[in-house]
């Protein structure tokens, strides 16, 4: 029987192309400052680690839907932190990290050939990958009216944005919801950076000002990787339309997509505690202040970047030239072309490094 390669239809993994600039940056006498990926570097709070350990001796299978305590904690956190109301604990479904959820959502929702998935013009690569895994078509479009007569099945929005840090206002999100509802399309809002807003106001797709309290065909995806430093735990959840959440649950039960019980316990504590999240937010705020000033002093323009964990910077040259310029100073950044053709003259600079490494980068940029 002939083997079918799923990977053959997917784009190359972008970060594999950074080998040469990484080697160059690593040769710096004071070592590399790796600002190319958004991976947390700060400690996991002790109360979360204690919760993880407390249930490490339970041998039975966890449930796909997650514990009642976890789902209730998610509902309360959404209301307390972001003003999201109208969510029931039964409308929350834990995920093995939000990248996994986003990658498989088109497939889990039954999309395939003939379906159209709309993603932002500058987008986290997994939106496109998820559509391709399902066999659907992909269009990059920020202004949905540009699609003309096209009828989309699913629309991804990401505010605050990765990579740009751009924040979509309430009016924009309302237009997306209205456009999608006219076409019976599902809107999936990736809200991983909602808790890391530095300027303006970030709102959820489930905010009553956006949804009018009606969550039909709306899904919000939330991660604990950024604000709680739980990237290694693979901890996230999706919530919104009860019908869609129930459909996702049924498929995920069959597929064995279950968040481990110790991780569920850790998530519960993290969602119930705002103190550790506030502390982490202020760490990133301080790093952003120092690094942004240094990047601008070095002659770059920082566009958008009102929120999130990145600076979206340019000096009007091909992004790979900028990557090399940073690498010569021992700093590794991500080329904007990773996120779409319109990022060809920008780089994404992550704030996810220790205070010492951020300070080292700032000194090199302003030397």
Output the pLDDT for position 4. Answer: 46
Phi, psi of 303 (to 5 degrees): -95, 150
Assess whether the region 7-43+276-366 and the region 46-273 belong to the same CATH fold.
no
pLDDT top residue among 24 and 38: 24
Domain extents for the chain? 7-43+276-366, 46-273
Q: To the nearest whole percent, how much of the chain has pLDDT over 90?
A: 90
With a cut of 60, say whether residue 7 has pLDDT above it.
Answer: no
46-273 maps to CATH 3.40.50.10860:
no
Output the pLDDT for position 73. Answer: 98
pLDDT digits (tens, 9 = 90+) for 259-318: 999 999 999 999 999 999 999 999 999 999 999 999 999 999 999 999 999 999 999 999
pLDDT digits (tens, 9 = 90+) for 106-121: 999 999 998 999 999 9
Mean pLDDT of the chain: 93
* Residues 31-38, mean pLDDT to the nearest whole number: 93
With a cut of 90, say whether residue 149 has pLDDT above it.
Answer: no
Lowest mean pLDDT among 81-85, 146-150, 170-174, 247-251: 146-150
With a cut of 50, say whether residue 202 has pLDDT above it.
Answer: yes
Output the pLDDT for position 143. Answer: 77
Lowest mean pLDDT among 146-150, 332-336, 340-344: 146-150
15 confidence band (pLDDT: 50, 70, 90): low
pLDDT top residue among 314 and 13: 314
- The CATH architecture one would assign to domain 7-43+276-366 is Alpha-Beta Complex (3.90)
Q: To the nearest whole percent, how much of the chain has pLDDT over 70?
A: 96
Output the pLDDT for position 18. Answer: 85
């Amino acid at each position: 029987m002939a083997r079918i390669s799923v990977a053959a239809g997917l784009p190359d993994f972008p970060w594999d192309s950074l080998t040469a600039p990484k080697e160059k940056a690593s040769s710096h006498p004071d070592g590399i400052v790796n600002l190319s990926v958004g991976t947390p570097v700060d400690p996991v709070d002790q109360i979360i680690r204690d919760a993880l350990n407390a249930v490490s001796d339970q041998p039975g299978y966890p449930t796909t839907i997650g514990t009642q305590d976890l789902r209730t904690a998610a509902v309360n956190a959404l209301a307390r932190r972001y003003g999201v109301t109208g969510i029931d604990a039964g409308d929350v479904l834990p995920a093995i990290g939000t990248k996994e959820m986003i990658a498989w959502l088109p497939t889990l929702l039954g999309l395939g050939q003939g379906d159209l998935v709309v993603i932002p013009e500058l987008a986290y690569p997994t939106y496109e990958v998820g559509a391709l895994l399902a066999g659907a078509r992909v269009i990059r479009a920020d202004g949905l009216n540009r699609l003309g007569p096209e009828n989309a099945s699913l629309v991804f929005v990401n505010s605050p944005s990765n990579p740009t840090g751009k924040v979509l206002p309430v009016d924009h999100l309302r237009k997306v919801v209205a456009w999608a509802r006219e076409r019976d399309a599902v809107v999936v809002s990736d809200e991983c950076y909602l808790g890391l807003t530095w300027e303006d106001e970030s709102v959820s797709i489930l905010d009553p000002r956006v949804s009018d309290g009606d969550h039909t065909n709306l899904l919000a995806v939330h991660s604990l990787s950024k604000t709680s430093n739980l990237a290694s735990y693979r901890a996230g959840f999706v919530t919104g339309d009860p019908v869609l959440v129930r459909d996702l649950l049924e498929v995920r039960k069959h597929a064995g997509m279950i968040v481990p019980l110790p991780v569920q316990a850790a998530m519960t504590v993290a969602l119930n505690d705002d103190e550790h999240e506030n502390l982490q937010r202020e760490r990133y705020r301080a790093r952003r202040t120092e690094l942004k000033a240094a990047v601008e002093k070095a002659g770059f323009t920082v566009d958008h970047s009102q929120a999130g964990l990145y600076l979206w910077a340019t000096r009007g040259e091909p992004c790979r030239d900028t990557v090399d310029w940073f690498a010569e100073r021992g700093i590794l950044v991500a080329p904007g072309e990773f996120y779409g053709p319109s990022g060809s003259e920008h780089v994404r600079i992550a704030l996810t490094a220790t205070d010492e490494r951020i300070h080292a980068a700032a000194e090199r940029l302003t030397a």
